[in-house]
Structure formats: structure tokens, C-alpha cells
Amino acid sequence: EAQVTQNPRYLITVTGKKLTVTCSQNMNHEYMSWYRQDPGLGLRQIYYSMNVEVTDKGDVPEGYKVSRKEKRNFPLILESPSPNQTSLYFCASSGSGGNIQYFGAGTRLSVL
């Protein structure tokens, strides 16, 4: 089954403790992206990647890192999480040209 898989689905952590949210897709898609969704602010793009070893900042990249060492994986790294990064995070992927995006189920993160 074609899918985008995020882990974990839920995470509660404390300020400053490094964490990684994994994202994997099995559709051989070139394009992958991370978003955060907050009430009243909609989906905001954090980082995106057009292909392996090619990443670029979205609208809200501060406090986040990404890497794209393999085509299928696009982890989101929070080196020192802060409470303002409490949010619902979605990973998405799309084929050549980056058109229709397929979203993972989401990761709900709480930073205390």
C-alpha cells in the first residue's frame, strides 16, 4: 500500500531535549516536505526537499533541521525543542514536479 509513515504519532517532551520525527514514503517520490499546523494559522511549510541531498527552507524553518540522505526518508530534527514548537506536524511527499502531495497521519508534539 502506497503511504507516508510518520513516527511517533504522539510525543511529549521537555524543553531542550533533542528529538527526531521520522518520515518515510514507499512511492519513490522525489519531493518531500514538512509542515506544522496550528489553530488559526493553517499549514505552514517548515522545510522541503526536491531530491536526495537537496533541501530548502519553507516559511518557518527556525529551530528545525532536516536531512535527505535517502530518497525514501526525510527526518525532522529539533535540536533544542521549545514550548512554541508544540504543534501538529505533517510530512508529505509527491512525485516528479511536486504536484499532488500525500500526507502522513501526523505527529502531535507537546514540548513542556
> Rule CB under 8 A: which residues touch another protein?
31, 33, 35, 40-45, 48, 50, 56, 58-59, 90, 97-106
Residue 83 — φ and ψ, nearest 5°?
-55, -30
Q: Distance between terminal CA atoms of the chain?
A: 36
Considering beta carbons, is residue 56 or 79 the nearer one to another protein? 56
Shortest reach from residue 50's CB to another protein, in Å:
6
Quick one: cell of 86? 508544540
Shortest reach from residue 30's CB to another protein, in Å:
10
Distance CA 78, CA 100 (A): 27
Considering beta carbons, is residue 59 or 80 the nearer one to another protein? 59
Considering beta carbons, is residue 77 or 103 the nearer one to another protein? 103
Quick one: cell of 29? 517520490
CB 30 within 8 A of CB 95: yes
Shortest reach from residue 26's CB to another protein, in Å:
16
